[in-house]
Amino acid sequence: MLPHTCFFRYQFVVLALLLSFTVNGQQGIPMRIQADRLQNARTAEQLALQRNDSLLLAEAWYLYGKTYVFAGDYRMAQRYFLKSLSIHEPRESSFELGRLYVRLSEIKLKQDDVRDALRYINLSIDVFKKAHSDEGLMRSYGALGQLYEDAWQNEWPSNPAKADSILACYREVERLGYQLKDTMGIAEGKLQAGSFLTKLNDPKAVPYLEKALELMRIKQKIGIRVNAMTHLAEAYLMVNKPALAYQMLCDAEALYTSNGLNEHDNRLNIEQIFAAYYEATGQWEKAYARLRKFHELERLILLEDRKGAISRLNVEYETGKKEALLKTQKRELSLRKETIQTHQRFTVATLALLVMAVSMSVVFFQLYRRNKRISRRNEVLLKEQNHRVKNNLQIVSSLLNLQSRRLTDAAAKRAIEESRLRVQSMAIVHRRLYDGDELAEVKLADFLEEVATNSLRAFGYGNIVTRFAIDEVSLVADKAISLGLIVNELVTNACKYAFSYVDEPLLMIRCQKQDHAVLLIVADNGPGLSDWRDADNHTGQVEVVPKKSFGMTLIQSQVAQLEGTYSFQTGLDDSLTGTVFRLEFTM
C-alpha cells in the first residue's frame, strides 16, 4: 500500500475521533499576511498613483494578489488578480498577462473549478506563445500538469494512462528550463515530476527530488526549498527510509521556523508528512497530535474566511479615511500656497504705498475680500469633511448591522453589535460638528446623553431610569470621541453584566468641570465587580480591578489618549450600589 494511501486511511479514522473531542484552548498556527510583502505592494501602489502609471498599478495589484495567496486567502487574491487583469487584458499579449492567467488558474483549481482553471491555462499558453516567452510557457505547463494531476487523483486507478500526460507536462517544464539555463525552472520541473512519481509509488522519485533540492540550495529560495524537502521526506517514506524522512522533515521545519515563513501550503505539508511518518513508525500519539494541528490549521483558515468580510470592511474604511486625509492635506497645501502668494503681493503693495497710497487702498480692499472668501471656503471644507466622515461612519455602522443579521453565532453577533455602537459613537461626534455652530468642539451634555441612550436601546433597556448631571462643557473632537467610546463601553458593560441582576435597573452619568479639568462618573445599581476586589485597599471604598478584555483595553487606550486617570469602585450611594467608574482629565 502506498504511504500516502496509508496516511489517508489513518487520517479518516483520526478525523472521526477528532469530532468527538472539543478543541477549546488549543493553540493553532493561524496564517497571517506577511508584512514585508504587503508593504512592498502598498509602496508600488502609492508610486503608481503618484506617477499615474497604469502598468505599475497593475503590478502592485499583482503583488497584493501574491501576498494573499501565501496567506491562504484565495478569494481576496482572486479579486486583486482580476483588477490587474482589467489593465493588462486590453493590451497586447505579454508575459505579465500570461502570468495572471496562470495565477487565476491555480486559484480556480484550489476552488475545485476545473473548467475555469483549464480555460485560464489555455489562455496563458496562447499568450506566452504569441509573446515568445519560454519562461512563461514553463509556468503554464507546470500549472497544466497540476490540473491534470488533480483530475487524475479523482479517476485513479480507472484511467492510469493520464499519468503519462502529467509527466510529459513536468518534463516539458524541465526541458524549457535546460533550454533557458534557468536553474529554478529545472528545479521546479524536477520537483513536480518527483512529487508525482511519489504518488505513483515509483522509486525514481527520490533522485528527482534530491536533484531539485540541490538546485534550490544554490538559489537560496527558502519557501520552495521547504516544499521540496517535505516532498523528499514523503519519497523517503515510500522507499522505506524512515530515518532519512524524519531528518529531512526536522530540517524543513527548522528552516521554515528560522526564516519566519508564514506560508499556508508549506505549513500544511509539514504537518501532514510528519503525521504520515509517525504512523509509519507506530508513534500513534505523535501522529495524532500532528494530524490535529493539520485539521486545526484548516479550521482556522475557514474561520478567517468568515471574518474576511469584516476585515475587508475595516481595510476599505481605513483606505477611505487615508484618501480623505490626503485630499485635505492637498487642499491645505494649495491654500498655503495661495496665502504665501497673497503675502508676497501685500509686501509689494506696502512698498508701493510710499508713492501710491490710493492704489494701495484698493489693493488692500481686494486682499481683505479674498481672505474673507478663503476663510468661508475653509469653513465650508471643514463642515464638508465632518459630513463625509459622518456619512462614512454611518455606512460602516449599517454594514456591520447587515452583517450581524446574517450571523447565527450569538457571540459573533454580540461582537459586531458592540463594534457598531463604537462606530456610531464616533459618527455622533462628527454629526454634531456638522450640525452645530462650533466647527471643532462638541457640547458634552447632549452628546453623552445620546451615546448612552443609543447603547441602552441597542440592548433593550431604553426605558430604564437614568440620571444625567452633565455641566455645560465643550471638548475638541478628538477628546470627545475618546470620551464617547469610554461611555459606550461602560454602558454596554452595565447592560450585559449589571442590569440583568436587578429588578429596576438604574444608570447615572455625571460630568463636572473643575477648573481646567473634567470629572466623569458612570455608575449602576448592579451587583458590582466583587470578583475582582482589591484586598490591599484601605481607603474606605472598595476598589475593584476589572477583567482584562477588549473593552477594558479600549477604555485604557482612550484614557491614555485623554492623558487622564481612572478607577473602578463598588458603590456610590444607597441607590447606586453597583460598579462606579471615575475618570479625571485636563481639558
pLDDT in tens, 159-186: 666 788 888 888 898 898 889 888 888 8
Q: 373 or 539: whose pLDDT is higher? A: 373
Whether 431 and 478 map to the same domain: the answer is: no
Tell me the pLDDT band of 81, cut-offs 50, 70 and 90: very high
Whether residues 363 and 483 share a domain: the answer is no
Domain-located, residue 563: yes
Does pLDDT of 79 surpass 50?
Answer: yes
Domain count, the chain: 2
Position 166, amino acid: I
Q: What is the pLDDT of residues 428-475, one digit of tens each?
A: 776 766 565 556 788 888 889 989 998 898 888 888 889 999 988 888
* The one-letter amino acid at 112: D
Examine the domain organization and report whether 310 and 368 are in the same domain: yes
SS3 546: coil
Residue 285 is assigned to a structural domain of this protein: no
Write out the H or E segment, with its range, that includes residue 36: helix 35-51
Using pLDDT thresholds of 50, 70 and 90, give the confidence band for residue 196: confident
Share of the chain above pLDDT 90, in %: 20
Question: Do 430 and 446 have their domain in common?
Answer: no
Residues 478, 369 share a domain: no
Residue 316: pLDDT band (50, 70, 90) is: low
Q: What's the CA gap between 252 and 283, in Å, rounded? A: 20
C-alpha span between 4 and 279 (Å, rounded): 11
Residue where one domain finishes, among candidates 439, 454, 482: 439
The DSSP call for residue 572 is S
Res 567: pLDDT: 92
Strand ranges of the sheet holding 579-586, from the earlier edge strand across to the other edge: 465-470, 506-514, 517-524, 579-586, 565-570, 542-544
Q: At residue 302, does pLDDT exceed 70?
A: no
Instruction: Specify the pLDDT at position 537.
Output: 42
Query: Do residue 426 and residue 446 come from a single domain?
Result: no
At which of 413, 439, 465 does a domain end?
Answer: 439
* Mode of pairing for the β-strands spanning 465-470 and 506-514: parallel
pLDDT tens, position by position, 230-285: 998 888 998 999 999 899 889 888 888 888 777 777 888 888 888 888 888 889 88
Question: Quick one: 421 and 494 in the same domain?
Answer: no
Residue 556 scores a pLDDT above 80: yes
Whether 536 and 464 share a structural domain: yes
Q: How far from each other are the two terminal CA atoms of the chain, in whole angstroms?
A: 76
pLDDT at 540: 44
Residue 545 pLDDT level (bands cut at 50, 70, 90): very low
578 and 452 within one domain: yes
Which of 404, 419, 439 marks a domain boundary? Answer: 439
> Measured between alpha carbons, how far is 202 from 192 in angstroms, rounded to an integer?
14
Q: How confident is the model at residue 349 (pLDDT cuts 50, 70, 90)?
A: confident
pLDDT at 2: 39
Q: What average pLDDT does range 548-559 have in this prediction?
A: 86
Strand 517-524 to 579-586 pairing: antiparallel
Say if CB 216 and CB 252 are below 8 A apart.
Answer: no
Question: 482 and 549, same structural domain?
Answer: yes
Element (H, E) at 101: helix 95-110
User: pLDDT per residue over 386-421, tens digit each?
Assistant: 566 657 766 876 777 677 677 777 777 677 877 877
- Spatial distance between the Cα atoms of 16 and 5, rounded to a whole number of angstroms: 17
Q: What single string gives the DSSP state of each residue in 266-294?
A: HHHHHHHHHHHHHHHTT-HHHHHHHHHHH
533 occurs within a structural domain:
yes
Which structural domain, as residue segments, surrounds residue 548? 441-587
Split at pLDDT 50, 70, 90, the class of 580 is very high
For residue 51, being part of any structural domain is answered with: no
Q: Is residue 57 part of a domain?
A: no
Give yes or no: residues 363 and 471 share one domain. no
The span from the CA of 449 to the CA of 447, in Å, is 6
> What is the per-residue pLDDT across 122-134, written as a single tens digit (0 to 9) for each?
999 999 999 999 9
Q: What is the pLDDT of residue 260?
A: 79
Cell of 177: 528550463
Nearest CA-CA partner of 56 in 67, 64, 45: 45
When pLDDT is averaged across residues 574-580 and rounded to a whole number, the result is: 81
| Rounded CA separation 56/51 (Å) | 9
pLDDT at 317 over 60: no
425/471 same-domain check: no
pLDDT of residue 8: 40
CA distances to 67, 215, 319, 397 from 426, rounded to whole Å, are 32, 57, 17, 10
Output the nine-digit C-alpha cell for 329. 492635506
Q: How far from chain centre, in Å, is Cα 465?
A: 41
Q: What is the pLDDT of residue 62?
A: 93
Domain assignment present for residue 385? The answer is yes
| Cβ neighbourhood burial of 550 (10 Å; 0-12, 13-18, 19+) | exposed
CB half-sphere exposure, 255, CA atoms < 13 A:
20
Q: From the CB of residue 405, how many other CB atoms can be counted at a distance below 10 Å?
A: 8
Confidence of residue 538 (pLDDT cuts 50, 70, 90): very low
* Confidence at 152, pLDDT banded by 50, 70, 90: confident
| Mean of pLDDT over the chain | 79
- Which pLDDT score is estimated for 338? 82
- Please tell me the distance from the alpha carbon of residue 169 to that of residue 162, in angstroms, as a whole number: 11
pLDDT score at 542:
44
Q: Find the helix or strand (DSSP H, E) in which 567 lies.
A: strand 565-570
Question: Is residue 128 in a domain?
Answer: no
CATH number at residue 568: 3.30.565.10
Q: In 3D, which of 326, 368, 324, 375 has the Cα closest to residue 345?
A: 368
Residue 259 lies in a domain: no
